[in-house]
A and B are shown apart, each in its own frame.
Chain A
Amino acid sequence: MRSASRYFLAILFCGFSLLRLDAQCPNRPNPGTVVQDPLSLNSVNGTLKAELTMRHSVDAGGYNHYCMNYATSNGDVEAPTLRLKQGDRLVLDVKDRIVSDDDSAGMEAMDMSVPAGKICGDGGTMTLSSTNVHFHGLNVSPHCHQDDVLTTLIQPGKPAFQFNIPIPKDEPPGLYWYHPHVHGFTEFQVNGGAAGALIVEGMDKFRPEVAGLTERVFIVRQQYLVPWVPGPYQLTINYQVSAFPTFPAPIINMKPNEKQFWRVANATIQDFMPLQVWFNGKPQKLELIALDGYPLAKPRFEETILLPPAGRAEFIVQGPAQDNEAVFMSLGYSTGPTGNPDLQQELAKIQVSADANDSQQTKTTEPTVRIPMGKLKFTGLSQQKPTALRKLYFSEEFGGTNGPIQFYITVDGQKQQVFKGNEKPVITTHVGAVEDWIVENRALETHAFHMHQIHFLVTEVDGKPVKNQDLRDTIEIPFWEGPGHPYHSVKMRMDFRDPTIAGTFVFHCHILLHEDLGMMHKILVLPK
């Protein structure tokens, strides 16, 4: 019946598309134009205060837009970049002004009602028009008015809901992102573009390689006409459709041989993106600085940087000489027999000219004093003795165009079941614990494991120690090749030492359809 409800949603969604043609969202850039960075909102005197309004419209091509608008004197701007420093406070008012003929509020549905007694915000039933915000990657509290997705619900037409989040003083500087996280509907709003960057400033203090470089923020999104029907999709880069050769390619301007610091977020609903920069058809070395908002202990050079859905990479790109043809690519990626095809796509052409950047919103960092990495959260995690070892696995039931029809993430030994809003946490631990988790993929489709509230240290892949122990908040776990083959797995060290994160939060697959259909569970971290 849960699935039936989802298809009932299809009726609403299709009707919604047809009926709501009046534009509530700003126009998006024309194909083939210069890619502009998102508008930046900076904290002032330790606080960033802003208001975002969630709206919805449908473009001429039939694509649903969900936009998190920031009002400026020149009109609404979509999904600005929120820029804060360690120790700052984010005060974000969010209003839901989705105007719809959606009557999904009345449907008996997907176990989406907020558990009784725990209401944050407007409460009520989660519908296509409800929203909330997850601050993806931030190592902050899971409680109401902070990074709580389990009980926070913002309903259309209600007064603004205020998020009030202190950024920890030891928060890793880097690229985070924000997006709606209403269970059962996350995919719809993110597919519509409701996602933006959040940057904790100060990368240059930990990674002086980026000091003085022009900084670019690229948010790659993905839009399907109807998100759950397999078929053609479009990638966009900062809202410009990137579908070359169907449309002219977006243009990234650089000066000849210029080094730029690129901060790239994979805000797609399900695309695994192996990123490359090509000069004359050949991939170039990229100097990788940070992954998932956490600076690397030591930069490394990579030709390909794989970003799972929700992953972020920050790297230095050296532009080509004047006469080279250069492109920013996302290669094709096999997600397995039951996965969706992730096709190769040219994200943008890199256009070289001596006067590039003059008209763009870019930021140049200044050289500053270096701070040792030991000052950051999670430092020394590899030396910690784990207090528990847990095994979890992804699995699916499948057999048709809907792909798999049931999506599970299960703690080994427990019963396979999909997420329910009123479920008890499947894992209970306590502040101070350091745990090793092995997450295995028993499905014929690659999954993207995401943990809320903390980063984790990747220590092993397929039972073998990894060369680079990176701190991540989202990691791909490749599909199972079938009988006779072992399951792929990732071993990761979870750090629950910070009392700030005590409470109940979730872990899930960040392919958003999977999350919406229940490939998610709760964990409870008890106070010490």
Chain B
Amino acid sequence: MQKSLKSLLSRWTAGLVVICVVSTMAAGASKPHYLVANDDVPPALATSVSFFTVSTSGTLTLKTNVLIGRGGIAGGYFAANRVNVLNSGNNQCVYASTAQGGEINGIVVKTLQIGGHAVGSKNDTGASNGVGLAMNAKYLYASFTDSNTIGTFHVKPGCSLTFVGDTTVAGLNGGVIDGMVIHGNMMVVTYGDGSIESFNISAGKPVSNGDKQNSTGSRKGNTYPSGVDITQDGHYAIFGDTSPFTVVEVSDISSGKLTPTIVYQLGKTMNSSNILLSPDESLLYISDNQGGRVSAAFFDKGTGKLTKGCVSGPLKGFVSNWSYVASLALEQTTGTGGALYVAEFGAPSSIGIINVKSSAGKCTLSESSHSPVSDPNSPGLLSIEAFPPRPF
């Protein structure tokens, strides 16, 4: 009897597992998987957000583009990420900014329709260098590069937003806000003058942690933190530098404040403003903004140390079709992230696809035969993002 019951329970359990797995697979199959691009354009033209579907092999197919109004600039900071995604509960959204008007639009991923939009205060614009975005489930933060303000917006259901207020910021040497990232209650930003600062965002609007400082790289010379990422455990902030070389700086933020950065020179490529940690944090991907390549460095998440990894060859179309590489995104949300995508700034722009291999302390980055994929909607693509996003 006991055996029969056990057997029955086992069968039920097995059945439940199968149902769960099938349900999960079904849910997974229906879950959208997009590479999203903020199609920056010159001011007089219409800005849109392009959605590319991602195939199982990592290749991209343009599905649609959603108009978000006029007011692009077809350029700006590499590290001001003008598109961000939210995957929280029932809120699956893509938020994208327009530089001239400082408008932020929320697009519902399920319908690919605009769910809401908002602007900051009267002076909030990014007409010179764009409006970068960072967000969590409650708040979206917008870095307005002209007004040098961080706008705080309340995230509402249906991908809508309401403006909360502005925080005026400036670098130690008067610099304009550039990169911005949040993790838990901490926001870390970079300024165009080589300084960095962190904020407490537990109450919504950012409040400085009083740790504004020139990065070690900037104190030694003209290598300025630009892009920024934070490790999953919130222990380290990692900065990609605007520099004549591939330079990354790392600050221990485990105390809740920035500490002096440690500088890693990882290569001789030109300008390393955009960086992205792989989901397993074993690799740091780096755009060689002005050299038309991407590279990867090995990251030790225990110590925060970086070591040289690998660099791709020049990506197809560099100089002839496009001028810069900018933001990075990943195909997958686990491991090293599968295929690596990189925004290629040109007219029209494109998205480079790079295959990543990494094992036993060695890596290779090779451009896919399907690369690049044209983004016909943008003559100035700088910002891309994957949906679903990396878990941290």
Binding site for B on A (CB under 8 A): 1, 3-4, 6-8, 10-11, 14-15, 226, 229-231, 336-338, 341, 343, 397-402, 405-406, 442-444, 480-484
Contact = CB atoms under 8 A, between A and B. Distances in A.
B127 A3 contact: yes
A374 B347 CA distance: 54
A10 B243 contact: no
B75 A402 contact: yes
Contacts of A337: 243-244, 270-271, 290
A329 to B, nearest CB: 18
Given A4-B127, A337-B271, A226 B77 contact: no
Nearest to A481: B244
Given A337-B290, A398-B192, A14 B44 contact: yes
Nearest to A14: B44
How many of chain B's residues touch chain A, expressed as a range? Answer: 35 or more
6 contacts: A10-B42, A229-B75, A338-B271, A400-B76, A400-B130, A401-B323
B75 A400 contact: yes
A300 B73 CA distance: 48
A405 B242 CA distance: 13
A397 B221 contact: no
Given A405-B129, A482-B245, A231 B346 contact: yes
Contacts of B42: 10, 14, 226, 229
A188 to B, nearest CB: 15
Given A8-B127, A400-B75, A405-B129, A442 B146 contact: no
Given A3-B128, A10-B42, A480-B222, A402 B76 contact: yes
Contacts of A226: 42
Interface string B216-240: 0100111110100000000000000
A406 B145 CA distance: 13
A481 to B, nearest CB: 6
Interface of B: 42-44, 73-80, 100, 125, 127-130, 146, 175-176, 178, 192-193, 217, 220-224, 226, 242-245, 270-271, 273, 290, 319, 323-324, 326, 345-347, 380, 382
A483 B76 contact: no
A15 B44 contact: yes
A6 B73 CA distance: 11
B146 A4 contact: yes
B192 A399 contact: yes
B128 A402 contact: yes
B192 A405 contact: yes
Contacts of B129: 3, 399-400, 402, 405
Contacts of A14: 42-44
B244 A336 contact: yes
Nearest to A343: B319
A399 B78 contact: yes
A161 B250 CA distance: 60
Contacts of A1: 146
Contacts of B222: 442-444, 480, 482-483
Nearest to B269: A337
